[in-house]
Structure 1
Amino acid sequence: MRRTINLLLALISISIFSFFTNDALQPQHPHAHGGGCIPAERAALLSFKKGITSDSANLLISWDGQDCCRWRGIGCNNRTGHVVKLHLRSTIVEDNPWGYYDPCEHDNSLFGEISPSLLSLKHLEHLDLSMNCLPGPNSKILNLMGSMTNLRYLDLSGIPFAGRVPSQLGNLSKLQYLDLAQTGNSMMYSMDITWLAKLPFLQFLSMSGVQLSGIADWPHTLNMIPPLRVIHLSSCSLDSANQSLLHLNLTKLEKLDLSSNDFEHSLTYGWFWKATTLKYLDLGDNRLFGQLPDTLGNMTYLQVLDISRNENTNMMMTGYYKNLCSLEILDLSVNGINGDIAVLMKSLPQCTWKKLQELDLSINNFTGTLPDFISEFTRLSILYLYSNSLVGTIPPQIGNMTVLTSLALYNNQLTGSIPANLGKLMYMTELLLSSNLLSGTVPTEIGSLINLNSLALRENNFTGVITEEHFINLTSLRAIDISSNNLKIVLSSDWRPPVTLKYASFGSCQMGPLFPPWLQQLKTTGLDISSNGLKGEFPDWFWSAFSHATSLDISNNQISGSLPADLDRMAFKKLILNSNRFTGPIPALPNNITWLDISNNKFSGTIPSNLGASLLEVLSVHSNQIGGYIPESICKLEWLVYLDLSNNILEGEIPQCFEIPNIQFFILSNNSLSGKMPAFLQNNTGLKFLDLSWNKFSGRLPAWIGKLMNLHFLILSHNNFSDNIPVDITELGYLRYLDLSGNSFSGAIPQHLLNLTFMRTLQQESVGMDGSVESHGTTKLRTSSILNVEQLGHILSVQTKGQQLIYLFGRTLAYFVSIDLSCNSLTGEIPTYITSLAALMNMNLSSNQLSGEIPSMIGTMQALVSLDLSQNKLSGEIPSSLSNLTSLAALNLSYNSLSGRIPSGRQLDTLNSENPSLMYIGNNGLCGPPVHKNCSGNDPFIQGDVANSNQKFDPLTFYFGLVLGFVVGLWMVFCALLFKKTWRIAYFRLFDKVYDQVYVFVVVKWASFAENTAVE
C-alpha cells in the first residue's frame, strides 16, 4: 500500500513538473500576458550580460530589444511572462567529443562572471551556464544560488569554480537535475555532502572532478535519495566503495560512474553490486583487484560494464554471469589480465554473443590466437585487442562480421597477411593493424571499404607497391598511416585523392629522391614523409600546398635550402625537420606552434630576439651552428616542457628572467655558455633532466639543488665548478644519473648516499622516464598528455666500460643508473653508504685523490656493470667480495696503492681478456694472476700445496728424487731382513709357500693343455 501511495505521489510530482516545463518551452506569445518580458527581469539579464567580457561565439548577440523572451537561450512562461529558462551552454562540447576541455582555453566560451542579478529571476526553473569560463571574482555566487528555490534544473558543469561546495544548495528542494562537474585540475571540494539528502526529487547528480576525499559515508547519503537515476562521481578522490548498505533505496538507479577514484580494495566488496536495476556501471581506474563477484549475475539489466584500468589480472567470466543477456559494451582493458584470448571470449555469456556491440580487451597480457568463432559475435561493431601478445594470423572469419566498424589489433605479434575478405566489411571505419609482424602485400580489396575513416598499418613487414587502386573507393578516409614498412608508393603525377585527408603518414616508404607531384593534391592537415630518401630543395609548390597543415614531419631526409621567410604566417602546430641539410637563419615561428624540432641540420645565425610562438612546449635545436646569446624571448615560453639547444656555439650567460614553470628537460650541453649555476632553476621543481655539460660554468654547486625533487638526470660534467659537492644532492630521491666529472670539485664525497632511493632498488619500471614527458603535478600540457622524447633524438655521451659511449636518449638510457665523479680533486675515503646503491650500473670515481680502502661490501652492488676507481690513492687489499659481481663487464683499479693478492672469480677472470693486468697496473703491492708477481709463502691466502702449485716444473729434480726414493726404500727392506731374525724366517717361509703354489698351478695347467692337444 505504501509503495502504491509513493508511486502515485511521484507520478503527480512528475506530471506537475512536466506541465510547467512544457508550458515554459511553448513558443512565446508576448501578448498573452500584456506584451514583452517583465522589465525587472530584462534588466537583470542585461546586468548579467555586462558581466560577460568576451562572447566570441555570439551567444548573446540577440540580447537586444524590449522582448527578452525572444533572446537566444531565454525561455518564458507564455501566460505570466516570467523568465523560467536560461540556457547558455558553450558550444565547445560539440567541438570536442573526446571529453576533456578547459572552457578557459576555448574561444567559443563565455568569459567573465556570473552576476548576482540572476537572483532577481525568482521564477527561474532551468539554469544552464555550463562549459563557460565564468568563475569571476565573486566566489560566493554558488552560495547565493541557494535562494533560487524554484530551480528544477541546474547545470554549472565545467565552470572552474574554486573553494567549498556550499551546503546552501540543499535549499533547492525542487531540484531534479544537478551538475557541478569540473574538468582538469579542480579546485572545488566538499567535506560534507549530507545536504544532498535535502533534495528529495533529485534524479540526476554529477559532481565529477569535485574533491570529496575523506567523506566515508557518501554511499549512505546517496541512499537517502530514492529518485536518483544517474550518478556521476568520477575523479572525486573517493576513498572507498567498500560500504555495507543493509537496504538499498536506489531502486531506480540506471547509471553509475565511479571511475578514476582511489578505492584500492577487492572488487568483490562494493555496495553498487546490490543495484540490480543498473544499465551502466563504470568502475574504471580505481585500482580494484580480485575476481568479479557472483552478485554481478543478478544485474540482468546491465548493458555497459567498464572495469578498465584496474588490477584484475585473473579476471575471467564464469557460469555465474550467464544471465547478463543485456550486455552490449564490455571494457576490461588495461588490467594486466593473463590467459588465452580464446578462453576469455568463450567464457562470455553465450546469450550476449549476438548482442555485444563493443568489446575492449586491449593492453592486457592475453596470449594465443584469435578464435575462429569470433564471427559468431554478429553485432560486434568495435573490437579492441591491441597491446597484447597475440600470435598467429588474422582469421578470415572476421570478414563475416558485417557490422564491424572498428578493429584494433596493433601492438601484437600477428603474422601472415591481411585477409582479402576484410574488403567486404562495408561499415568499417577503423582498421588499425600497426606494430605486428604482418607480411605480404596490402590487398587492393581495402579500397572497397567506402566507410573507412582510419587505416593504420605502420611497423609491419608489408612489401610491394601502393597504387591508385588501393584508394579508388576510400571516399571516407581521413587518416592513413603505412609508415615503417617496405612499401613503395607509385601514383601518377596527376593523381587526385578521392577525399581530403586530415592525416597521412608515409614515413620510411620509398618515395624519393624527388618530391612526387601528387603530394600537393593531398591538402592534408597532417603529413609524415620522414625517411623517404628525399633529396634537394623543396619544390615551389610545397610550402603553399601545406601552409594550412598543422603537423608536418619531413625528418631524416637529405633536403637542403632554407625555411620560408613567411613561416610565421603558416598554421603549423608541430613541425619536425630534424636530420636534414637545412641552412640559413631560424625565421620567426608560427604563433600556434607547440612542437619544433630542427635539430641536426646546419642552421646558422642567432636565435631570433622576437621568437614569438608563446605556446611552444617542445623546442629542439641541437646539433646546428647557432651562435650568439640566448635571447630573453625564450623566457616568455611559459608552456615550454622540453628545451634542447645543445651542440651549438652559444656563448654568454643564461638570461636570469628564465622562469618556465612547466620545464622538464633543460639541455644546453656542448656550447660556450658561462656564469654560475643558473639561480632561476631552483623554482623549476618539475625539472627531470638537466644537462649543462661541456660549457664554462663556474662557482660552487648551490645547496638549493636539493629542491629539484623530481630530477632524474643531473649532468654538469666538464665545466669549472669548484668547492665541495653539497650534501643536499643526496635529497634527490628520483636521481638515476649523476655526472659531475671533469670539474674542480674538492672535499669528500657526500655521505648518506643511501638517500638516493632510486639507485637503491632495482627498478621494474622507469617511473615516467621511459622516453616520454608526462603531464602531472604542476605541469600542464596544452596539446597532449605525453610527448615522446625518443622522437627528439637527444644524444648523450656516457663514460662507462672504460670508453666513451654514445646513447640516444630514450627507453634504454632511462634504465641506466650511473654516478660519475671522475676527474675532480675529491679527497677522503669512499663512503661505505655507496654500497647500498644496489641498482647502480656504472660507478666512476677515477682521477681524484681518494684514499683509504675500497669498501669491503662492494660485492653487494649486484647491478654494477662498470667500476672505475683508477688514479687515486686507495690502499689496502682488494675486497674478495668483488668476485660476487656477476654483471661486471669493465673494471679499472690501476694507479693506486693497493696491495695483497688479487681475488679471482668466474666473472673477474673474464675481464679484459687481451691484457687483464692493465686493470691493476700501477699497484706495486698486488700479487697473483693476472699480474706477473708471485705472492710470498707468508701470504695468509697461500697454504701448503697451493704455494707449491705456483713453482715451475723441473724434470731433472723430479727424476733424481724418484731414483733416490727407490734406493732408500730398497735398503730399508734389506736392513730389516738382515738384523731381524724373526722377520727373515717369516719372509723366506712366505717366499717358499708362494713358490710351491705357483709350481703346482703351472704343472696342472700344462698337463691339461697337453691332454686336450692329443685328443684333437
Structure 2
Amino acid sequence: MEITGDMTMLIDGLSSQCAARKKLLELHLSYNNFTGALPNSIRRFTSLRMLDISSNNLIGSISPGIGDLTSLVSLDLSYNDISGHLPTEVMHLLSLASLDLSSNRLSGSIPAEIGVLTNLTSLVLRNNTFSGVIREEHFAGTLPPHLEAPELQTLLMYSNRIGGNIPQSICELQLLGDIDLSGNLLVGEIPQCSEISYNFLLLSNNTLSGKFPAFLQNCTGLQFLDLAWNKFFGSLPAWIGDFRDLQILRLSHNTFSGSIPAGITNLLSLQYLDLSDNNISGAIPWHLSNLTGMTMKGFQPFSGASMSSGLVTVEVSGQFGEILLISTKGKQLPYGGGLQYFVGIDLSTNSLTGEIPPNITSLDALINLNLSSNQLSGEIPNKIGTLQSLESLDLSKNKLSGGIPSSLSSLAFLSYLNLSYNNLSGMIPSGRQLDTLSANDPSLMYIGNEGLCGPPLQKNCSRNYTFIHSSKQEFKPMTFYFGFGIGLVVGIWVVFCVLLFNKIWRIAYFRLFDKLYDRVYVFLVVSWSSLAREAAEE
C-alpha cells in the first residue's frame, strides 16, 4: 500500500514520542509518495541503524541533523528529488556501511572527508550532477591512515561530472570488487592495481586512454568488463581467454587494433561480446561453438552478486544496464534489467576479413548478431536458421556472396534483418516472418545486392532462373543415404513378391537367367581358348 503525506509532519510526530526516539532501530519508508523535505528533527532518532526513504518525492537539501545519527549502518535517500551539496555532517556517521544517494539532483564536489567512513562497504552516488575530480584525499594517501576506507567493496559513482584522473590510492581499497565510474569526465590511464581482484569493472563513457590494462590478468573472477567509449588502443592480449567467469565484455568505440585473440573462444560463460567500432582486423575466430554460454543448453542469465555487511545487503547487479545502450535492431537501445537475459555478438565497424565461421550457428541462444561494416566474404552459413532465438541480424556492408539461405525464413522471433550492400545473388526467400519485416520499405533490407531478385525488390527473376534456383537445394548426406536405403529395400521386396506369387513370371525369370548364364559361359570359354592359341603361336 502506498502512503501519501508530508515527511516533516511524519518525522516531527514520531520525534515527539520519547519512547519512539529511543527504541526505533529501523525506519523503512521507501516506495511511497511522501513529499517535502527531510526535517532537522530527524537528529533525535539517535538509536536508528537503518534509514530508508528511497523512491519518494522528497525535495530540498539533506538536513545537517542527519550527522547526529551516529548509530546508522545504512542510509538510503535514492530516487528522490533532493538537491544541494552533500553536507559534511554525513562524514560524522562513522558506523555507516552503506550510503546510497543515487538518482537525485545533488551537485558540487564530493567532500574529501568521505574517506573517514572507514566501515563503508557500499558507496552509491550515481545519477547526480557531482563535479570536480577524484583526489587522493577521497581514498587516503595524503591523509593519516585512519582516514582510509579499507572495508569498501562497492563504489558506484557513474553518471556524474567527475573529472581528472583515477587516483593511484584507489589501489589501497583491496576489498573493492565492484567499481562503476562510467559516464563521467575521467581522463588518463587506469591505475595498475595488481593487488585487487575486481569482479565488476565499468569505466565506459569517459576519456580514459592507454593499452588494455595488464593488471586485469590477475582478476580471474572478473564477470563484467566495460571499457567502451574511451580512447584505449593497442592489441587485445592472448590471456583475455583466461576469464572463465566473464559474462559481459564491452570494448566498443575505442581504437583497439590487431586480430581477435583465438583464446576469446575459451570464455565459456560469455553471453555478450561487443568489440564494435575499433580497428580490429583478421578473421573471426573459428571455434565459436566453444562459447557455450551463448547456447540454450549452457546459458545462465547474468545476475551479479550480493555483498553483505551487518544489516546491509547490496545487490550489485542492480546497477547493470541502467545506462548501458546496446546496439541492436539498427538502434541504440537501453536494456535495463533485461541485460541479464541479453545474448549477443557485435563485431561491427571493424576491418574483419575471411568467412563467417559456419559453427556460429551452434550459438542458438543468440538474440543479436551484428557483423556489419567489415570486409567479410564467402556465403551466409546455410544453417543460419538454427539460431532460433535470433531477433536481430545485421550482415550489411560486407562482401558476402551467394544466395540467401532459405532457412532464414524459419527464424520465428526475427524482427530486424539487414543484408544490404553485399554481393548476394539469387531469389530472395519468403516466409511468414520475413514478409513482416520492415513493413514501410522491406526492400531496404536487400538494397545494394545487384544479383538479388524477387519480392520485395522490383527486379523479377526469370523463369529459367526461378526453376534453377528452386531446384537448387542444400545437399544433406544423411537424408540422401536414408532415402536410398529405403528405396533399395522396397525394390528388392517388390521383385521378390512378384516372383513368389506369379508362377509364369517366376519361370520366365529363371529361363532368362539361365540363357544369360549360358551366353556368358560360352563367351568366356571361347575368349580363353583364343587367347591361349595366340600365346602358343608366339
> The residue matched to 1:938 in structure 2 has which SS?
helix
Provide TM-score, normalisation by structure 1.
0.43
Aligned counterpart for 1:773 among listed residues 278, 282, 305? 305
Residue 505 of structure 1 deviates from its aligned partner by 1.1
Given that residues 937 and 943 in structure 1 are in contact (C-alpha distance below 8 angstroms), is that contact kept between their aligned partners in structure 2? Answer: no
1:608 aligns with 2:135: yes
Is residue 532 from structure 1 mapped to residue 56 from structure 2 by the alignment? yes
- In the alignment, what sits opposite 1:695? 230
State the partner residue of 2:107: 583
Quote the offset at 1:862 in angstroms: 0.6
| CA distance in structure 2 between the aligned counterparts of 1:727 and 1:762, rounded to whole angstroms | 23
Deviation at 1:785, TM superposition (A): 10
Q: CA deviation at 1:693?
A: 0.2
The one-letter code sitting in structure 2 at the alignment partner of 1:845 is L
What residue in structure 2 maps to residue 752 of structure 1? 287
* 8 Å CA contact retained: 1:495, 1:518: no
* Residue equivalent to 2:203: 668
Match of 1:680 in 2: 215
**CA–CA separation in structure 2 for the residues paired with 1:609 and 1:910:** 57
* Structure 1 residues 327-726: aligned runs within 5 Å: 462-463=1-2, 492=13, 495-496=16-17, 498-499=19-20, 500-516=23-39, 519-523=42-46, 524-541=48-65, 543-565=66-88, 567-571=90-94, 572-587=96-111, 588-589=113-114, 590-610=117-137, 611=139, 612-661=148-197, 663-726=198-261
User: Partners of 2:211 and 2:195 in 1: how far apart?
Assistant: 16
Structure 1 residue runs of 5 or longer lacking an equivalent are: 1-461, 469-487, 776-780, 945-1016
Distance in 2, Cα, partners of 1:493 & 1:868: 60
Say whether 1:804 aligns with 2:336: no
Q: Tell me the equivalent position of 1:731.
A: 266
Provide the secondary structure at the position in 1 that maps to 2:195.
coil
Q: 2:210 touches 2:231 (CA, 8 Å); kept in 1?
A: yes
Alpha-carbon offset, residue 519 of structure 1: 3.5
How far is 1:494 from its partner? 5.4
In the other structure, the counterpart of 1:921 is 447
CA contact under 8 A between 2:187 and 2:209: conserved in structure 1?
yes
- Displacement of 1:518 in angstroms is 5.3
Question: Match of 1:939, SS?
Answer: helix
Which structure shows the higher helix fraction?
2
Is 1:866–2:398 an aligned residue pair? no
TM-score (norm 2): 0.80
For the structure 1 residues 738 and 598, does the alpha-carbon distance in structure 2 shift closer, same or farther, using more than 3 Å as the test?
same
C-alpha contact 2:427 2:466 (8 A) present in aligned 1: no
Cα distance in 2 between the residues matched to 1:463 and 1:555? 17
Indicate the structure (1 or 2) with the bigger Cα radius of gyration.
1
Retained in 1: the 8 A contact 2:395–2:419?
yes
Displacement after TM superposition at 1:839 (Å): 0.8
Q: 2: distance between equivalents of 1:697 and 1:928?
A: 45
Read off the aligned partner of 1:773 and give its amino acid letter.
Answer: A
Please state whether the residue corresponding to 2:463 is helix, strand or coil.
coil
Between 601-610 and 827-836, report the one with greater CA deviation.
601-610
1:666-685 Cα shifts (integer Å, max 9, x gaps):
00000000000000001100
Q: CA RMSD in A?
A: 2.4
- Secondary structure (helix, strand or coil) at the match of 2:335 reads strand
**What SS class does the counterpart of residue 289 from structure 2 fall into?**
helix
Residue 742 of structure 1 pairs with residue 277 of structure 2: yes
- Contact 1:748/1:826, CA 8 A, preserved across alignment: yes
Give the deviation of 1:807 after TM superposition: 2.1
The Cα shift of 1:466 comes to 8.4
Q: Distance in 1 between matches of 2:204 and 2:107?
A: 22
Say if 1:667 and 1:532 are closer, same or farther in 2 by CA, change over 3 A.
same
Instruction: Tell me how far 1:615 sits from its aligned partner.
Output: 0.8
Find the counterpart in structure 1 of residue 380 from structure 2. Answer: 854
Do 1:586 and 1:608's aligned partners in 2 also have CA atoms closer than 8 Å? no
Q: What is the alpha-carbon distance in structure 2 between the residues aligned to residue 602 and residue 637 of structure 1?
A: 25
**Structure 2: which amino acid aligns with 1:643?**
I
Residues 532, 717 of structure 1: alpha-carbon distance in 2 compared, 3 angstrom cutoff: same
What CA distance in whole angstroms lies between the structure 2 residues aligned with 1:698 and 1:521? 55
Q: Is the CA contact 2:73–2:312 (under 8 Å) kept in the aligned structure 1?
A: no
Deviation at 1:545, TM superposition (A): 3.3
- C-alpha displacement of 1:941: 4.1
Query: Aligned partners of 1:658, 1:646: CA distance in 2, in Å?
Result: 21
The 3-state SS of whatever aligns with 2:294 is helix
**Residue of structure 2 equivalent to 1:969:** none
The answer as to whether partners of 2:402 and 2:423 remain within 8 angstroms in 1 is: yes
- Greater RCO (Cα-Cα under 8 Å, separation 6 or more): 2
Is the 1:530–1:553 Cα contact (8 Å) retained in structure 2? yes
Task: Flag the 1:629–1:818 CA change in 2: closer, same or farther, 3 A.
Answer: same
Is the Cα–Cα contact under 8 Å of residues 574 and 594 in structure 1 kept in the other structure? yes
CA 1:826/1:677 → structure 2, altered by over 3 Å: closer, same or farther?
same
Q: Could you say which residue in structure 1 is the equivalent of 2:514?
A: none
For 1:876, the equivalent position in structure 2 comes to 402
Q: Paired residue for 2:516?
A: none
SS at match of 1:685: coil
| Letter paired with 2:278 | N
The code of the aligned residue for 1:637 comes to L
2-side partners of 1:726 and 1:786: how far apart? Answer: 38
Code of the aligned partner of 2:255: N
- SS of the aligned residue for 2:332 comes to strand
Offset of residue 815 of structure 1: 1.2
**2:315 equivalent to 1:788:** yes
What SS class does the counterpart of residue 899 from structure 1 fall into?
strand
Against the structure 1 CA distance between its residues 933 and 638, is the aligned structure 2 distance closer, same or farther, given a 3 Å change threshold?
Answer: same
CA deviation after TM superposition for structure 1 residue 465, in Å: 6.3
Seen in structure 2, the aligned counterparts of structure 1 residues 941 and 840 have a Cα distance that, compared at 3 Å, is farther
Report whether the alignment pairs 1:834 with 2:360: yes
For the 8 Å contact 1:869–1:893, the answer to whether it is kept is: yes
The answer for the alignment partner of 2:481 in structure 1 is none
Given that residues 425 and 449 in structure 2 are in contact (C-alpha distance below 8 angstroms), is that contact kept between their aligned partners in structure 1? yes
SS in 1 for 2:400: strand
Report the CA distance shift for 1:763/1:752 in structure 2 as closer, same or farther (over 3 A). closer
Contact 1:497 / 1:522 at 8 angstroms: preserved in 2? no
1:849 partner amino acid: Q
Over residues 736-794 of structure 1, what are the superposed CA-to-partner deviations in whole Å (9 max), with x where a residue is unaligned? Answer: 0000000000000001001101112256752xx22x3157xxxxx65589741354364
| Counterparts of 1:737 and 1:785, CA distance in 2 | 30
Which residue identity lines up with residue 104 of structure 2 in the other structure? N
Instruction: Report the CA distance shift for 1:813/1:879 in structure 2 as closer, same or farther (over 3 A).
Output: same
CA distance in 2, matches of 1:703, 1:652: 24
Q: Distance in 1 between matches of 2:11 and 2:123?
A: 30
TM-superposed CA distance for 1:498, in Å, is: 3.3
What CA deviation, in whole Å up to 9, does each residue of 1:871-919 have, x standing for no partner? 1111110000101111111111011111100001111111111111111
Structure 2 CA distance for partners of 1:506 and 1:774, relative to 1, 3 Å: closer
Over the matched positions of the two proteins, sequence identity in percent amounts to 52
Q: Is the 8 A contact 2:2 2:31 kept in 1?
A: no
Measured in 1, the distance between the counterparts of 2:348 and 2:241 equals 21
Q: Does 1:899 align with 2:425?
A: yes
Letter of the structure 2 residue corresponding to residue 799 of structure 1: S
